[in-house]
Each structure stands twice: as structure tokens, then as C-alpha cells.
Amino acid sequence: MIGLLYFDPYFWVTIPGILLAAWAQMKLSAAYGRYSRVGTVRGVTGADVARLMLDRNGMANVEVYRISGELTDHYDPGRRAVFLSHGVHDTPSVAAAGIAAHEVGHAIQHKTGYAWLGFRMAMVGLTGFASKASWFLILGGMIFSNANPRSNLGRSLLFFGIMLFGVTVAFQLVTLPVEFDASSRAKRELLRLGIIVPEESTGISKVLSAAALTYVAGLLTSVLELVRLLLIFRRPRDEDHG
């Protein structure tokens, strides 16, 4: 977006993040595609896995719902409900079992008061505002700075936009331990409760590891974007028309 206003000499900073994000998405698609075709020995669907884990962890009040889309699965702490995509909810596959268990892992975090989940929940409102407002301020700052390189208004808008963008980066950073912990809980509970057999652990680990990599890639991409914005902000004003 910034490149539409003028040539951005720092675009190269974000290239590693873009490449990693693309690779992570391909890796997730491959793992999900492969293990979606591998049935579970016990024939349990994602919905079955979620219900069993919730009930046996004292969360019979947490509902499981089917939603549209692919890999749109999530746990909603506000509604205290697990939402599973059609391919996970209704499919008796290793991939479905792993993804459903991961979302229940978030529910278990919520029940046990896992600190990182609490931090993440507390940041949701501010992050939602920051993600929307940051680019309006950044682009506004670019426009004003481009029109008048010595304008303090342009630099002020850019500064506050970058600060808000930093909030979204912090949110992604807090999300990492939440996601990794949910996957650990998922694999542990699946075996402890006998929902899967040990031989299925490898496939579940590959699916959940691939999913976790997308969060790492997302964080790296955002961090590099933040670095690019800071470099633009620090560029001497006389270079803005260069």
C-alpha cells in the first residue's frame, strides 16, 4: 500500500516474512490434505473428539457447533463454545481429531485460567481497534508527508499509526504461547483419554505443527513490516520526494 504513494526503498525487509508465510500455508495445506484422508482407528469425528474431551474435562456446558469454511475452527471464550468447520466436525480423520482437540485445548486453558490466554483475551478489544486504525493513520501520514515533506502533521500521524500497528504485533506475540500450549494439551489429552491410538500421534503432530508454523510466520511478517515502517519514519524528510 505504501508503494502506491512513492517508491519504497525498504520493501525488501518484508520479503523473508512473505516467503515464510507462503511456505507455512503450503505446509499446512499439505498436512491437512494428507491426514484428512487418513481415518482414525476408532472412527471418531472431530465433533466426537471435541465432545469427549469437553465432557471428560468437566465442561459439559461448552457446546460444539458446525460452521462453514475450511480451517475456520476456533474456540470462542465469550460464548464458551467450540466451532468446527464442516470438514473437521463431520470427518473421522486424523487431521480432524487433531484440530478439534486443539480447539478444546483452548477451552481447557480458559477453564484452568491459563495466564497467556487471559492476556490475549484482554487485548482483543484494543487490537481490533488498532488493526483498523493503524493503516488509516499510516497512509494519512504518508499522504501528508508526501505533499509536504516538512509537515509535522504527517509525521505525527505516521508515528501514532506505527504505535497502533505495534499493538497488533504484540497481540500476535502473545498468541504464540497460547497456540503452542493448546496443541500440547490436545496431544496429551487425546492419548490420556484413549481417543486415539499412539500410532496416530505422528499425523496429529504434523498437522498441529504445520498450523503453529502459520502463527510464527504471521508474527515474523508483522515484525518485519514494523521494521519497515520504522525505517520509513526515520528517513530524512528531504528524501520523501526522492
Look at the alpha carbons of 104, 107, 109, 111 in this order and tell me if their dihedral is positive or negative.
negative
| Confidence at residue 24, expressed as pLDDT on a 0 to 100 scale | 96
- Residues involved in catalysis: 103
| Confidence at residue 81, expressed as pLDDT on a 0 to 100 scale | 98
Number of independent structural domains in the chain:
1
| Confidence at residue 237, expressed as pLDDT on a 0 to 100 scale | 56
| Confidence at residue 12, expressed as pLDDT on a 0 to 100 scale | 87
Grid coordinates representing 123?
A: 487485548
Residues with Cβ < 8 Å from 96, sequence gap 6 or more? 36, 40, 45, 46, 49, 87, 88, 89
| Confidence at residue 3, expressed as pLDDT on a 0 to 100 scale | 43
Domain that holds residue 111: 2-239
pLDDT per 10-residue tile (average), the chain, 242 residues? 54 92 96 96 96 97 96 96 97 97 98 97 96 93 79 88 97 97 97 94 96 96 95 69 44
